[in-house]
Amino acid sequence: MYFGYVSVSEQPKTWARKHDSFASEEWIIAQVKWGPRWQFRGRNHIEITTYGQEGNRTVRVKIQAACTYSAGRIHRIDVFHIHLES
């Protein structure tokens, strides 16, 4: 769980509009804050794999984000990329 600030860049916002049957900017933020376990790719990059329901199929979604630290703790998370995995 993460209670700090989450920003969403333009690419994830555009992606969410294309997949609006289950995704929105709020959905993306919720996946970052309360979603599945984060996978750290180095100190400043996070990957989150989650699932959504698009029509009658379940789709796997990969979210990529960057962390900014302050006083040794994560200060903010910036979501910069999101895509469907096959």
Q: Which of 19, 11, 25 is nearest to 58 (CA)?
A: 19
Strand partners of residue 21? none
Q: Using CA of residue 86, residue 76, residue 37, residue 29, what is the dihedral sign?
A: negative
| Structural domains of the chain ordered from first start | 5-85 (3.10.450)
User: pLDDT digits over 41-81, tens only?
Assistant: 999 999 999 999 988 999 999 999 999 999 989 999 999 99
What pTM, to 2 d.p., does this model score?
0.91
Q: Looking at residue 15, what DSSP letter applies?
A: H
The helix-helix angle for 10-18 and 25-34 (nearest 10°) equals: 110
User: pLDDT digits over 12-22, tens only?
Assistant: 999 999 999 99
pLDDT at 37: 85
